[in-house]
Amino acid sequence: MSLRLDTVSLENRFVRLEPLTAALEDEMRAALDCDAASWDVMVAAAYGPHFDGWWRSAMQAMEQGTRVAWAVRRPGDGAVVGTTSLYEIKPDYRRCEIGSTFYRPEARGGPVNPSCKRLLLGHAFDGGAVRVEILTDAINPGSQAAIRKLGARDEGVLRKHKITFKGRIRDTAQFAVLDDDWPEVRARLDARLAAFG
């Protein structure tokens, strides 16, 4: 058995994840062009002048089968409020990573992130994954707290692991959810989402 991640839309009551296509380019450009300071901890930026390079890279990775990138749409008003991806897809090892995630400020702190993680983790494990990694900058305690709240296990810090688009050599905090962990993590996420009105 190997890992197979189909490029399909995923949806629950709080978000609709739509695979990136040329038809979404303008909406994505507008959605990601905000909050420049939050991009500083990212490896690649997609706001303002950085969007075109980010878009090309995402589309190329999708063509190569190493990434599935989605627009995050809020069903209530139809607005695109961010992006997220499954990437570093390694079919032979049945492993992938959730990342390249950015939400507009007004979409943070509510049901959007746990909804996206519930859909992405479900898609990965339904597709045969045995391990899903979630990485973040070691200097971003808010992101690390959110990942822990999902139920992902802390696996330590990878020193000098990546370089941000501004040239800072970054340490990376690594977390993972294994197929063995998934039933408990899924139940926690479902309970969190049920608590939202």
pTM here is: 0.96
Spatial distance between the Cα atoms of 70 and 113, rounded to a whole number of angstroms = 13
Spatial distance between the Cα atoms of 5 and 2, rounded to a whole number of angstroms = 10
**Secondary structure of residue 87 in the 3-state scheme:** strand
- Answer whether 138's CB lies under 8 Å from 173's CB: yes
Question: If phi over 0 gives left and psi between -120 and 50 gives alpha, with beta otherwise, what is residue 82?
Answer: left
Answer whether residue 197 shows pLDDT above 90: no
Count of residues making up the chain: 197
Q: Tell me: the pLDDT tens digits for 163-176?
A: 999 999 999 999 99
What average pLDDT score do residues 34-60 get? 96
Q: Tell me: the pLDDT tens digits for 8-42?
A: 999 999 999 999 999 999 999 999 999 999 998 89
- Answer whether 56's CB lies under 8 Å from 29's CB: no
Q: Tell me: the pLDDT tens digits for 125-157?
A: 999 999 999 999 999 999 999 999 999 999 999
> What is residue 151's predicted lDDT score, i.e. its pLDDT?
93
Tokens 């983790």 belong to residue: 121
Residue type, 124: A
Q: If you count DSSP H runs as helices and E runs as strands, how many of each does the chain have, helices first?
A: 6, 8
